[in-house]
Amino acid sequence: MHSKGVVMLDLSLRQTLLARSDLFRGLPDHLIRYVATHAVERTLSDREVLYLKSEALDFIALVVEGQVYSVIHGPDGREQIVGSAGVGQVVGESALIEGHARENSAFACGPTRVLLLGQRHFRALYEEPLFWQRVLMLLMTRLMKILELLELVCLHRLESRLARFLLANIDDFELAPATCASVPRNQGILAAMLNTSRPKLNVQLQLWRRSGVISCQSGRLVINDVEHLRRKAYSLN
């Protein structure tokens, strides 16, 4: 929970970021200021670990730049990404529940900056009813995403999983000249999100490229045949 010597966010900017976040939005001004004052800033390089599974639940983290992925590991060492947090989102919220250890590990994707709030500062938040509403909604949202992921990786083929992922991550730009999907820049990360190996994922992507379903343009993945992906996403396995 130590800063790495970069230019620090000032108090005013911290308060603005917290007030817009999924967990702290709408909380009284004095609590926002309390969190902003006591949070510790930390920068992470690409793939740097924020915390490991089974570590003590001693902080929660708000992402202010970059992306943080939550991951579990199988007995063979394979990674399964089970969640992600972008700017304005909180990761490690299970620290708010006493008597538990981390249920997964978390690492940065690309240069990332987070604000960490230590466990010793939780008590002031516990006294605010709206905070508990936010926590409950956040945990329920996480649970629903985990159930969706469980259904996807257990019951659907890779072709269907990949098609659903691309459709769910289409960039929402009405004036864009092409339909693009936001995908991790590292193919290994996408493989870990879809519960497959990188070689198998690459084979499927190459098949779609050769058939013209997708293409690459200026480093972005372009979907040329959305209807084809929809058929593959929701066809019977």
- Summarised one tens digit per residue, pLDDT across range 59-68 is 999 999 999 9
User: What residue type is assigned to position 30 of the chain?
Assistant: H
The stretch 213-221 carries a mean pLDDT of 86
Picking from 109, 127, 155, the residue at the C-terminal end of a domain is 155
CA 112/CA 91 separation, integer angstroms: 13
Phi-psi region at 76: left, alpha or beta (left = phi > 0; alpha = psi -120 to 50): alpha
Query: What is the number of domains present in the chain?
Result: 2
pLDDT of 1 above 60: no
What length does the chain have? 237
Query: In which band, very low, low, confident or very high, does the pLDDT at 122 lie, cut at 50, 70 and 90?
Result: very high
Cβ-proximal residues to 211 (8 Å cutoff; 6+ apart), any chain: none
Co-location of 130 and 224 in the same domain:
no
Residue 6 has a pLDDT of 59
Measured over the CA atoms of residue 14, residue 15, residue 21 and residue 24, the dihedral's sign is: positive
Work out the burial of residue 183: count CB atoms within 10 Å of its CB; fewer than 13 is exposed, 13-18 middle, 19 or more buried. Answer: middle
Co-location of 97 and 32 in the same domain:
yes
Q: Cα 109 from chain centroid?
A: 9
Beta bridge partners of 62: 90, 115
Residue 235 has a pLDDT of 74
pLDDT of 4 above 70: no
The stretch 40-55 carries a mean pLDDT of 93
Co-location of 36 and 107 in the same domain:
yes
Across all residues in the chain, what is the average pLDDT?
A: 87
Q: What percentage of the chain exceeds 90 in pLDDT?
A: 55
Co-location of 110 and 139 in the same domain:
yes
Least confident of 93-102, 135-144, 223-232: 93-102
Structure tokens at 1: 């929970």
pTM: 0.75
The stretch 107-122 carries a mean pLDDT of 94
The stretch 84-102 carries a mean pLDDT of 85
pLDDT of 176 above 80: no
